[in-house]
Amino acid sequence: MITGKNYIGNVLTSVGENIFKTFNPEQNKENNWLFAEATKIEINKAVELATEAFKVYKTISGNRKSDFLNEIANQVLLLGDELQEVYCLESGLTKERFLGERTRTLFQLRSFADLIKEGSWVEATIDVGNTERKPNSKPDLRKLNIPLGPVVVFGASNFPLAYSTAGGDTASALASGCPVIVKSHPMHAGTGELVASAIIKAAEITKMPNGIFSNLNSSGIEVGQLLVKHPLVKAAGFTGSINGGRALLNLASKRKEPIPVFAEMGSVNPVVLLPNALKLKAETWAKTYANSITLGSGQFCTNPGLILGLKSEGLSTFIQNLAEEIVKIEPSCMLHPNIIGAYETKKNIVVNEEGVSTVSAAKEKTGVNYGRQLVTTVNGKTFLNNPTLHQEVFGPFSLVVQCEDIEELKEIISKLEGQLTGTIISEDNEVKNYDEIVLALQNRVGRLIFNGVSTGVEVCDAMVHGGPYPASTDSRFTAVGVNSIKRWVRPFSFQNWPNELLPNELKNENPLGILRNINGVKTSEKID
């Protein structure tokens, strides 16, 4: 049942007077539930509880934390139809999308549970001391990753489950040993509260300290700002707009003690169509891209918003086919009137820029909050000279840039802002002749895709979901896959520490049987 209250640790409270509702974009009306925005007192209480909980939580074994994460997955599943109903009412997303996103969320939780149960993720590194070394003895140094402390997680509008309350940021932070305070996304506060109730229940069942998790409602930017500024908060995770992510990064760096903000932000995900691929398969690729551009009404950070090709008959055929294919696809509901409002504004800005022409637009009459797809085109020189055209238009939109020659294509790629992904469409080994293009693209993105689409982000160990700024605020880390745990830890060394007082990961006996680096060699052996 949705109460509209905040979870401050295990307790539901609502002392604030700022009340708001979520919105059903499919029916174009407000939902009935009333949510109370968290007050400053509630925010402070949540952070203080998290700080206390951290003292205990960081000492809890990987096995017990793993049980906690698995139990969260069990409890989310037990929310059953109620979660599905609220998710759809608050997002306009379909039942199928709900099922897919829930599966992904549970998989993420269980992947982190497996990771910390096994234990080697702490990257234990031991340089055994040598008192005989001349002229100076060598100290014994033992390093492992330790958690940072309370982490604030901002729910994402476009993933009410997988990148929100119990999503990737929360799962990875809890796995690392950090308490989490979620700043719930105002567009799906009910979904957030239900998932929060599952986390709290799991914490109680597995006897985790109170304060390990809190869920705070907000209807504006103040709650998030107070959290990021709070001196006891040690890091933040964010998915959303460049403006939002950048504002939080600035706030965090101005603190007396600056903290990291791992923000995953906008991206246009450039696609390079090589000439032979266009000559031979323009129709096929056009159909593939019509589907990818409109998938989920374009509301993915990996949406292909920029398509680059060399002027040719093949490129003209591709554009013509893309125009024909994309109008065949029925528009779908977007997340919220604000999202569709931003989409309409941004696409109109692009359309009205000099030199931009419309290739194909969806029919005018469609559902109220449905995103009408649009494909535009421009020549390479105009694109190069107009930074407005480089910006993300969040929705079912793409811009096809027609380049004069390979030099222009290379220049365009090298002048792009940082991106999550880059894609090369090539016929057989054609790509071999374009190594400079590949290198230029690699320099701007976090992941290169060969003959595919950027939409669809596999959750696995080798995934990099991040990239040079502004795709993310720190290109050294991924926001997806178990390696995302590294965002919430710091390396820590013990020097000449008594063996019996070391954490189990670093003891001579290797009681956890984990893989360690001992004197430069990876091994699960103990130290004699």
Q: Which residues are known to be catalytic?
A: 264, 301
In angstroms, what is the minimal distance from the CB of 23 to ligand NAP? 12
Q: What are the φ/ψ torsions at residue 208 (nearest 5 degrees)? A: -85, 155
CA–CA dist 509, 515 (Å, integer): 12
129 lies in the binding site for ligand NAP (CB under 6 A): no
**How many Å is the Cα radius of gyration of the chain?**
25
Angle at 479 between CA 477 and CA 481, to 5 degrees: 100
Q: Which positions from 366 to 395 touch ligand NAP by CB under 6 A, shown as an x/- string?
A: ----------------------------x-
Among 185, 201, 234, 447, binds ligand NAP (CB under 6 A): 185
305 lies in the binding site for ligand NAP (CB under 6 A): no
Among 10, 27, 84, 225, binds ligand NAP (CB under 6 A): 225
Among 27, 241, 317, 504, binds ligand NAP (CB under 6 A): 241
Among 186, 209, 422, 466, binds ligand NAP (CB under 6 A): 186
3 lies in the binding site for ligand NAP (CB under 6 A): no
Stretch that binds ligand NAP, among 139-147, 235-243, 270-278, 352-360 (CB under 6 A): 235-243
Nearer to ligand NAP, 64 or 229 (CB): 229
Q: Which positions from 334 to 353 touch ligand NAP by CB under 6 A, shown as an x/- string?
A: -----x--x-----------
CA–CA dist 358, 492 (Å, integer): 55
Q: Which of 326, 327, 328, 313 is nearest to 282 (CA)?
A: 313
Q: Which of residues 283-302 bind ligand NAP (CB under 6 A)?
A: 301
Residue type at position 283: E
Please give the biggest Cα pair distance in the chain.
83
Hey, is 452 helix, strand or coil? coil
Q: What are the φ/ψ torsions at residue 30 (nearest 5 degrees)? A: -70, 150
154 lies in the binding site for ligand NAP (CB under 6 A): yes
Strand blocks (E) in 10-128: 11-13, 19-20, 23-24, 29-30, 35-36, 125-127
158 lies in the binding site for ligand NAP (CB under 6 A): yes
In angstroms, what is the minimal distance from the CB of 96 to ligand NAP? 20
**Which contacts of 461-469 are long-range, i.e. CB under 8 A and separated by 24 or more positions?**
465/264, 465/420, 466/264, 466/420, 467/267, 467/418, 467/419, 467/420, 467/421, 468/417, 468/418, 468/419, 468/443, 468/444, 469/417, 469/418
18 lies in the binding site for ligand NAP (CB under 6 A): no
Nearer to ligand NAP, 177 or 224 (CB): 224
25 lies in the binding site for ligand NAP (CB under 6 A): no
Cis omega (within 30 of 0) on the bond before 331? no
Stretch that binds ligand NAP, among 242-250, 268-276, 424-432, 506-514 (CB under 6 A): 242-250
CA–CA dist 173, 169 (Å, integer): 6
Binding site for ligand NAP (CB under 6 A): 154, 156-158, 185-186, 218, 220-221, 224-225, 239-241, 244, 247-248, 265-267, 301, 339, 342, 394
